[in-house]
Chain A
Amino acid sequence: MEKARPLWANPLQFVFACISYAVGLGNVWRFPYLCQMYGGGSFLVPYIIMLILEGMPLLYLELAVGQRMRQGSIGAWRTISPYLSGVGVASVVVSFFLSMYYNVINAWAFWYIFHSFQDPLPWSVCPLNANRTGYNEECEKASSTQYFWYRKTLNISPSIQENGGVQWEPALCLILAWLVVYLCILRGTESTGKLEQLANPKAWINAATQIFFSLGLGFGSLIAFASYNEPSNNCQKHAIIVSLINSATSIFASIVTFSIYGFKATFNYENCLNKVILLLTNSFDLEDGFLTPSNLEQVKSYLASTYPSQYGEVLPQIKNCSLEAELDTAVQGTGLAFIVYTEAIKNMEVSQLWSVLYFFMLLMLGIGSMLGNTAAILTPLTDSKAITKHLPKEAISGLVCLISCAVGMVFTMEAGNYWFDIFNDYAATLSLLLIVLVETIAVCYVYGLRRFEGDLQSMTGRSLNWYWKIMWAGVSPLLIISLLLFYLSDYILTGTLQYQAWDASQGQLVTKDYPVYALVFIGLLVASATMCIPLAALGTFVMRRLKRGDAAPVA
């Protein structure tokens, strides 16, 4: 009594679904930052090595498991070993956490897109203060783009303790974002793929981490996608293609990001020079237009020698404009996407067009990744007959979206961005590493590498290359263990965790300590996903014991 499993219309649809899932916001805002921090082009070396040692093998492993077991993550791991169904559950839990906070980014992208249809762009000018004699104080101290992000978009509170209420504007955008996601997943697999898309020791650790998270391993999304494949599909080829395209997109995004940095740095440098020129012209009543950037240094030394006392008064206000200092500001994450990029865009010609295009791209990237995440949650749910008996597919999708949206309202509160950072930094990182480690060990040693190899051969008709065997059985698990150890020791050594809070009076970010309940929450986040694995194993063991106890008298 089996219902035929829905299939991808053609392998290309599957590839596009994987690519749109893997190519996400991390390619745009994390990878260029890492390149800049760890030596630019030379970061590509550890990155590519980690791609070959860790990224491709693990991606292939997940796709192969999904294609072989033809079920979502929970069913797939239960098939490999009933004690390991906890791995699938942990994947679903982590995916649920991710879908809760990730869609908030899409909500922000919608917010910015809707505000891009104005002239001038709202983040390019500061609003006036109460008596219209100058600009708003907070905006003056920070910059207009920062003010628009922290005050108008987030309306951020000074610390995580002060919660404030739910802001209705971002809440509306969040609801819209969830409606769009629901629209795409409503019909299940058939519609997901159609969203085709546009791809030290610290350096090594960060390269390994970036590859790991960039490919989206461990969420169960890849297993879910692959479970809808024909058994004879050549997922080895697809694994290589997807990982290469993901890396190529990261590199391409870095080129674009660096040119944006350069534009912004040049613009700010010239602005700085003009301010110095104006200051000197006004202080010494020089002729208007006499001072230019080329003769600035000469005139400065002339003035210093001729009017030493007056020059001494003005000296503290003269900034040393340096192009290198402007270029050195490296930002990642939401700061890069919503502050640095918007600052560069506001200075371009036809800025409304570039703004709309840019945020549309962010939206596409974000929604593509969201679809993969929701597939990771929905596939195990729709596989389970207990649930599909009572509810149609549309209702299950709707329920998942509704619950995630309701919880996501937390991130639209005034302190929401601080909770967002907590989720972003801790919800997925450690748990995923552990999940993928258990996955690799499960396939290689519990299920048996030879057996899996035989399954793949009978399924696809191709024998498994020795390279993959070595990676799966040896290299990749070792790499993940070392990453895990590094991060654990890093967390332990750092002591209290801190976060960046926006100080409205100073117009900049300040570092603060997390309160106790936030630390407890972080611990719960990490524990709830990782504890699934041992708990499920224990539960299965206990249930078997009980059943054996019941059945013994019969035998």
Chain B
Amino acid sequence: MLWLLFLLVTTSHAELCKPDAENAFKVRLSIKTALGDQSYTWDTNEEYLFRAMVAFSMRKVPNREATEISHVLLCNVTQRVSFWFVVTDPSKNHTLPAVEVQSAIRMNRNRINNAFLLNDQTLEFLKIPATLAPPTDSAVPVWIIIFGVVFCIVIVAITLLILSGIRQRRRKSKGLPEVEDAEDKCETPITVENGIPCDPLDTKEVHLNEAFVPEGERLTPL
């Protein structure tokens, strides 16, 4: 009698939880990729923890506070490690709708990941997309700050240069009357303006091409 009951339970269990069953989800873990040397082996104790976490997630859904660990069924565990799971209702005859399980897992994804020392990429619930963390955005974009700094420096430098240029020109125009007398004494063949001290060896004039003298002079009267 007991033997028959046992058979009944296992067959119903097998019917509810099998690959691609209704409301069943596939889970995939990559423990070695995530933890390397410190990886743990996947055994029935780990499976028990998993079922506990799923039950915990379901208990947070309104109307499902009575979910027990025994309601979570696992099957088809492979070497990968991957397996399928379903959550049944208290009568153990029907599985809970996929939408409810999905939203429950999404809400508590972080707690489930941490229980197994994994993250969204190494503990995958196929068909349950994870909510990706948005990149941290500061109130003012960083680049504007740096742009502002460089911009101000350049503006200040330009202003300084222009002001010093104006000052130099004012100084030259003030000093010009005194230098003009000195120029007359120097007798350079080329006159220079703007008070540049006359030193024939230093002045280099623009070389004019005599072959092309201005038009008027070419047509000198015979």
Stretch of B44-52, B56-64, B151-159 contacting A (4+ beta carbons < 8 Å): B151-159
* Cβ-defined contact, B202 with A4, below 8 A: yes
Stretch of A126-134, A242-250, A265-273, A332-340 contacting B (4+ beta carbons < 8 Å): A126-134
* Cβ-defined contact, B209 with A132, below 8 A: no
The chain B residues found within 8 Å of chain A, CB to CB, are 28-33, 78-82, 129-132, 134-135, 142-144, 146-147, 150-151, 154-155, 157-158, 161-162, 165, 169, 190-194, 196, 202-209, 212, 215-216, 219, 221-222
* Cβ-defined contact, B132 with A118, below 8 A: no
Bitwise, A163-181 to B at CB < 8 A (1) or not (0) is 0000000001100100110
Q: Which one of A5, A287, A288 has the highest number of Cβ atoms from chain B below 10 Å of its Cβ?
A: A288
From 503 to 536 in chain A, residues with beta carbon under 8 angstroms from any chain B beta carbon are none
- The minimal Cβ–Cβ distance linking A52 to chain B, given in whole angstroms, is 31
Bitwise, A1-23 to B at CB < 8 A (1) or not (0) is 11111010000000000000000
14 pairs across A/B with beta carbons < 8 Å? A4-B192, A4-B204, A82-B212, A110-B147, A120-B135, A133-B132, A179-B151, A187-B161, A281-B80, A282-B28, A288-B29, A392-B165, A547-B215, A548-B219
Bitwise, A544-555 to B at CB < 8 A (1) or not (0) is 100110010011
* Cβ-defined contact, B207 with A70, below 8 A: yes
User: Which A residues touch B196, using CB under 8 A?
Assistant: 3-4
- The minimal Cβ–Cβ distance linking A14 to chain B, given in whole angstroms, is 15
* Cβ-defined contact, A133 with B142, below 8 A: no
* Cβ-defined contact, B80 with A554, below 8 A: no
A329 at interface, CB cutoff 8 A? no
- The minimal Cβ–Cβ distance linking B142 to chain A, given in whole angstroms, is 5
Q: Which of B31, B131, B169 contacts A132 (CB 8 A)?
A: B131
A79 at interface, CB cutoff 8 A? yes
User: Which B residues touch A555, using CB under 8 A?
Assistant: 219, 221-222
From 97 to 112 in chain A, residues with beta carbon under 8 angstroms from any chain B beta carbon are 110-111
- Name B34's closest neighbour in chain A (CB-CB): A288
User: Which A residues touch B203, using CB under 8 A?
Assistant: 2, 4
* Cβ-defined contact, A186 with B162, below 8 A: yes
Q: Which of B129, B135, B146, B194 contacts A117 (CB 8 A)?
A: B146
Rounded to whole angstroms, the CA-CA distance of A186 and B161 in the bound complex is 8
From 433 to 488 in chain A, residues with beta carbon under 8 angstroms from any chain B beta carbon are none
* Cβ-defined contact, B28 with A3, below 8 A: no
Rounded to whole angstroms, the CA-CA distance of A110 and B132 in the bound complex is 31
Bitwise, A149-192 to B at CB < 8 A (1) or not (0) is 00000000000000000000000110010011011001100000
User: Which B residues touch A392, using CB under 8 A?
Assistant: 165, 169
Bitwise, A322-359 to B at CB < 8 A (1) or not (0) is 00000000000000000000000000000000000000
* Cβ-defined contact, B132 with A132, below 8 A: yes
User: Which A residues touch B219, using CB under 8 A?
Assistant: 548, 551, 554-555
* Cβ-defined contact, A128 with B134, below 8 A: yes
- The minimal Cβ–Cβ distance linking B153 to chain A, given in whole angstroms, is 10
- Name A81's closest neighbour in chain B (CB-CB): B212
User: Which A residues touch B146, using CB under 8 A?
Assistant: 113-114, 117
User: Which A residues touch B143, using CB under 8 A?
Assistant: 111, 114-115, 117
* Cβ-defined contact, A183 with B161, below 8 A: yes
Q: Which one of A114, A133, A172, A183 has the highest number of Cβ atoms from chain B below 10 Å of its Cβ?
A: A114
User: Which B residues touch A551, using CB under 8 A?
Assistant: 215-216, 219
- The minimal Cβ–Cβ distance linking A536 to chain B, given in whole angstroms, is 15
User: Which A residues touch B78, using CB under 8 A?
Assistant: 285
* Cβ-defined contact, A118 with B142, below 8 A: yes
User: Which A residues touch B207, using CB under 8 A?
Assistant: 68-70, 79
* Cβ-defined contact, B191 with A1, below 8 A: yes
Chain A interface residue count, Cβ-Cβ cutoff 8 angstroms: 56
User: Which B residues touch A288, using CB under 8 A?
Assistant: 29-33, 80-81
User: Which A residues touch B155, using CB under 8 A?
Assistant: 179
- The minimal Cβ–Cβ distance linking A431 to chain B, given in whole angstroms, is 26
Rounded to whole angstroms, the CA-CA distance of A379 and B169 in the bound complex is 20
A286 at interface, CB cutoff 8 A? yes
From 67 to 88 in chain A, residues with beta carbon under 8 angstroms from any chain B beta carbon are 68-71, 75, 79-82
User: Which A residues touch B132, using CB under 8 A?
Assistant: 128, 132-135
Rounded to whole angstroms, the CA-CA distance of A151 and B207 in the bound complex is 54
A394 at interface, CB cutoff 8 A? yes
* Cβ-defined contact, B158 with A179, below 8 A: yes
Q: Which of A70, A82, A173 contacts B204 (CB 8 A)?
A: A70
Q: Which one of A81, A230, A285, A551 has the highest number of Cβ atoms from chain B below 10 Å of its Cβ?
A: A285
Once A79-B208, A79-B212, A551-B219 are accepted as A-B contacts, the answer to whether A2 and B190 lie under 8 Å apart by CB is yes
Once A4-B203, A118-B142, A183-B158 are accepted as A-B contacts, the answer to whether A133 and B131 lie under 8 Å apart by CB is yes
- The minimal Cβ–Cβ distance linking B137 to chain A, given in whole angstroms, is 10
From 273 to 323 in chain A, residues with beta carbon under 8 angstroms from any chain B beta carbon are 281-282, 285-289
- Name B129's closest neighbour in chain A (CB-CB): A133
A231 at interface, CB cutoff 8 A? yes
Beyond A3-B196, A133-B131, A176-B154, 17 extra complex contacts between A and B, CB < 8 Å: A2-B190, A2-B205, A4-B204, A80-B209, A82-B212, A110-B147, A125-B135, A183-B154, A183-B158, A186-B165, A282-B80, A285-B78, A285-B80, A286-B79, A287-B80, A392-B165, A551-B216
- The minimal Cβ–Cβ distance linking A541 to chain B, given in whole angstroms, is 13
User: Which B residues touch A5, using CB under 8 A?
Assistant: 204, 206
User: Which B residues touch A80, using CB under 8 A?
Assistant: 209
- Name B220's closest neighbour in chain A (CB-CB): A555
- Name B192's closest neighbour in chain A (CB-CB): A4
User: Which A residues touch B169, using CB under 8 A?
Assistant: 392
